[in-house]
Structure 1
């Protein structure tokens, strides 16, 4: 193996602007991101990256040069390695003859090189400090990635992983107002009907909702099992509701009975 100088290439980039959650506005990347970012320099080796992944229980390490994000080395980048016999299989003779030489060489670098710049993924999803978390959730889903990096200008200042969204969910649920001991049946019914009207999926009508001593009873019919379950959850989440009784039948059965 090439003899490389032993110097500390690990980078911890702090961002002092993290503020506590403010429930008066929508959450943004700044509210939930993890900072500082654990990273290595472009001259780092694969051994350094593996050590960080294992000792700090990380799924990815950023590759950073003077604050600028060059790429990441994640667990996914280390799946196919020659050392453990999982390197990408040699392409067919047809591909070797007529295929892209660049692709073949890239496969070899990815599975054999010990330099992070050869192994890392260069295409990284980034967001700004003010990106709303609903946009972040969409980016995670569309790109099928486990994390996005937060940049301020060109400087990387944080990371938002799926686990950070789960933590935000926990905080949001803990901050929900506690249900009061008593709600008038009429006010409970008005709140449920108003909530149903604000959604696009219900087929239940106003006359099909009855509230007695905090117990909600649904009557009539429903179009789908998912709609039935969703309406039950809507009622359960209404303050003052003690129980929910569902007397509805599927609408196709109801039409048959008429």
Structure 2
């Protein structure tokens, strides 16, 4: 699945010359936490989020440092902070270093960009112009669209069992020869030994993700690895 398949369009954006009051009103009225800043020709020039309004002189929330530390701040940095804290136009408070993606970017690439750069939204840009935007909500909608409809799935118990065993055998964390799988009318029973409590939930998830599974019964027990060595 590609970015263009899940991106939101048309994009809610604002001109760089707009006031910060207009920006705040836009976010509140559209119930969004940020938006791209777009020139009249469609070119992306920045992005604004709620975080850009956290430190404001009007609220008394501007950055305050001890006097000795303030002395170490360069004049340029102090000037930049002043503008962002007291600026009246969107272009004065927006972030100019925008993380973007192309329409044919994969969802894996989009998620990697979000996690690496700690951002919640990625403008989708084609030839410098904004054609869409992807937020975490868009990814949730994409996930919902591909999740299986369990109610409509009827699969043979033995087929379910073999699928679960195959999944366990493919996972590094699973001691597949120590986990027994039984299936009765779509209800899975997991029994046997694990060596780490985190493996319990992983085994349950592995079973839950197999088509046709209605429920998973956990009868696994967490064993001390030394006890298994001694018994064997």
> Do they fold alike, i.e. is TM over 0.5?
yes
Is 1:75 equivalent to 2:50 in the alignment?
A: yes
Structure 1's unaligned 5+ residue stretches are 1-26
1:201 and 1:59 map into 2 onto residues whose CA distance is: 39
Alignment-derived partner of residue 255 in structure 1: 228
Give the conservation status (yes or no) of the 8 Å contact 1:193–1:206.
no
Q: 1:216 to 1:145 in 2, by over 3 A?
A: same
Q: Secondary structure at the match of 2:202?
A: helix
1:223 and 1:198 map into 2 onto residues whose CA distance is: 17
Offset at 1:220?
2.6
Is 1:134 equivalent to 2:108 in the alignment?
A: yes
Alignment-derived partner of residue 75 in structure 2: 101
1:141 and 1:35 map into 2 onto residues whose CA distance is: 23
Compute the TM-score of the two structures, normalised by the length of structure 1. 0.79
1:212 and 1:176 map into 2 onto residues whose CA distance is: 16
1:170 and 1:49 map into 2 onto residues whose CA distance is: 31
Offset at 1:231?
1.2
Number of corresponding residues: 229
2:86 and 2:108 map into 1 onto residues whose CA distance is: 39
1:242 and 1:53 map into 2 onto residues whose CA distance is: 42
Alignment-derived partner of residue 136 in structure 2: 162
1:115 and 1:212 map into 2 onto residues whose CA distance is: 65
Give the conservation status (yes or no) of the 8 Å contact 2:48–2:94.
yes
Structural RMSD (CA):
2.5
**Which of 180, 191, 197 is matched with 1:225 structurally?**
197
Offset at 1:217?
3.4
Alignment-derived partner of residue 195 in structure 1: 167
Is 1:59 equivalent to 2:33 in the alignment?
A: yes
